[in-house]
Structure 1
Amino acid sequence: MKTRMTTGLKNGALLLLTAVVGFSIAGCGTTQQAASTNGAAPKAGGAAAEPAKTEAKQEEKKLSGKLVVYSAGPKELAESIQKGYEAKTGVKIEMFQGTTGKILSRMEAEKANPVVDVVVLASLPSAQGLKKSGMTLEYKEAKNADKLIPEWSDKDGNFFGYSASALGIGYNTKLVKTPPKEWADLTKEEWKGKINIPDPALSGSALDFVTGYLSTRGDSGWELLDQYKKNGAVMAGANQEALDPVITGSKSIVAAGVDYMTYQAKAKGEPIDMIYPASGTVISPRPAAIVKTSKNVDNAKAFIDYLLSDEAQKMVAETYLLPGRKDVAAKDRPGVEQIPQMKVDWAWMDTNGDAVTKKFTQLFK
C-alpha cells in the first residue's frame, strides 16, 4: 500500500570485510564500523577496515538526484522528514502534500505517466488496495522493519506502517463538562446539532474508522451513523476542517476525530481533549510504500529506511502520532496498549471502502 537497498561491495572487498566484526552498511548510506579498542592495532584481518571504510564512504555519495514523494500530513512531520532525509543523503525531495483521498486521485490522474516514487498515506486499506492493484514495489530488507508493529505493515515489504493515529471523540472542554463515553452517546438529544464528523472521502483515517466500525457490526452498523445524521451531525471536510469548529466553540464534538491533531491543539493551550470509548475504536496506521513505476528506486528505498530510523521515529513521536516501531514510545499521549481497539477486518475494509464512502456521502450530504 522490494529488495532492500544495500551498498555494493566488490568481491575482493567482501573477503576482507569478513574479518571486521559488526560492520554493516544500511539503507540511507550510513555505516557502522567495528573499532579496535584502546587504540590497539587491529588483529588478523584488521587492516581491511580502513579500505572498507573508504569504499563505504565512496558508496554513500552514490545516492543523488531527486525523489518524488506524495505525503499525507501532518505538514510539519512531512517537512521534518524531508529535511532530515535530504541532509543524510544529498537527494532532493519533490513533495506533494495532501489528504489520502487527494493523493490517490492525483495518482489516478497521472496513471498514464506516473511520476511519484513514494506514497505516504493515512489509511492502511488504501495501501492494501495499491498492493492488490500491483502498484507497489517489494522491499523486504528495509532496515528496522523487524521492529515495526506487524499488523501495520505488509509482511512482503509492499508497505510499512511507520506511524499511526487513533480515532476518538474530541470535545471542547469549555463547552462539555461531562464528555460522552461511548459512540452511542452521541445520538442523545443533548448533542443535537453539536457534532462534526470528518468526510471519509477526504480523510483516510476517518474512512478507516467507518469501515472498521462496519466490519465489526455488519449492516446494523449503519443504524448508528443514520442516528448521527438524524441528530444533526455534519460531515465537515477532512480532519482539520472537522476539528477547527470544535476548537473555536461553534461545535462541541468531533466524532471519529483523529487524535494527534487534538493532542497538538491541546499542547498549544486550546480547550480541547479526547476520549476513546471503552467499547473500542480503530487505530489507523499510516503506511509508506514505494511505487512500482518509480524512476528512483535506490533513493526510494533509502527514504523507507529513513522513515524507520531512530531519528525519524523520534520526529513521529514529537508530532503526537503513535510511532510505528514497538521500541519507540509515544510522547505525552496514550500509547497503543492504552487504547481500547475494535477487532476490525482490514481485508473487508479494503474491499468495501469505495462502497462505504459512497453510501456515507449520500447519507450525510
Structure 2
Amino acid sequence: MLMRSTSTLMAALLAASLFSGCNKEKAPATAATPTTTASTSTEPSADTVVATFGDGTKITFGELNERIKEPLANLDKQKFQLRKQGLDGFVVEKLVQAEAKKRNLTEEQLIKAEVDDKIPQPPEAEIKKMYDEAKERLPPGTTFEQVKPQIVDFLNGSKKQERAREYFNELKKTANVQITLPEPPKPPVERKQVAATGPSKGPENAPITIVEFSDFQCPFCSRAIGTVEEVLKAYPNQVRLVFRQFPLDFHQQAPKAAEASLCAHDQGKFWEYHDTLFANQKALEVPQLKEHAKKVGLDSAAFDKCLDSGAKAETVKADMADGQKVGVNGTPAFFINGILLSGAQPFDEFKSVIDAELQAKK
C-alpha cells in the first residue's frame, strides 16, 4: 500500500477526469459521434421490442440505441480510459514499491526525495502576496504562518504533478514497461468548422489551433487550465489557443464574468484577468469583478464603463451561438483543428490528437 503522499500524487495524476465537464444535460461528454453503437452478446437484438402502446405502436431496442447513441458510444471509450488509468496506477505502484525496497526507503521517503525535494520552493514574497490577496476571505484571525503550508502546496501543485509524472516515466523507462492493453476501435474523426476568433496565445501561424469554449464559473474549466498550459509548454511553436465564451445558463455569474474578461481584453490583459477569475470562482459578482480588474492593473474607469454598459454582451452571445452550431452543450469544450475534445481531459488526450494532426501535415 502506498503512503499518503504517493497516493495524493497518484490521485492528482491519474484522477478520472476524462469525461468531466459542466454539462446542462448531465450526460457523459463525448469526443466524437460514432456511426455505430457498441453492443455485446448479452444485449437484445435491434428488433427486440422494448415498449408497446395501446394503438400497436412499438419501440425497438435499435430505436432506443439510436436515440441515446452518443452516451452509449462513449461507454467503450470510458471503460478503456478507466482501465488504462487503473493500469497506469497499478504499474506505478509496483515500480515505486520495488524502487523503494531497492534503496531501503519507505515509499513516502522515495517520493519525497524524488519529487517533493526536487521542486524549488516559491519565494516568500509570492507566498505573502497570495495571503494578502486572500486575507479578506479567510476566517477572522487567520495568520500568515497558519496558512503558509497550504499556500505553498497550492503554488507547487502543478510543479509537483509535472515532476511526479517525469519521475514515474523514468521508472517505466528503466523497467522497460510495455503497455499492451487493447484499445477499442476508434470512431471516424469528425471535424467541425470553428471560427478561431477571440483572445489568443501562441503563434498566429501555428499548424494546430485549439479553440476553447469555456465558462468562468465552471469548476471543470478551472481544472483544465493546468493541462492547457502544459500543452502550450509542450508545443510552443505548434499550438495556438483561442478562448471563446460559453457561459452556461445555470451559472448565474458566468455571463457577466465573460463580458468582464472581454473588457479586460480591450486593455490587453485578458489572460491575467482570465487567471484571476478562475482562481476566484466564488467571487464573480459585479463588484468583485471590478475589484479583480483593479488587482490586475486595469484602468478602473474604462473597465467599469465597459462592464456596466453591457458592451460585450453581444460578443458573448455570438460565441455561444457559434458553439451551439458545432454541438457544444457543456464546458470546457476544445476543438483541435476542428476535432472536438470535450471535458477536463488529461494531457495525453490532447497529445494524441495534436501528434496525429502534426503527422498528417508532414
Higher helix share: 2
Normalised by the size of structure 2, how large is the TM-score? 0.23
Higher strand share: 1
Normalised by the size of structure 1, how large is the TM-score? 0.23
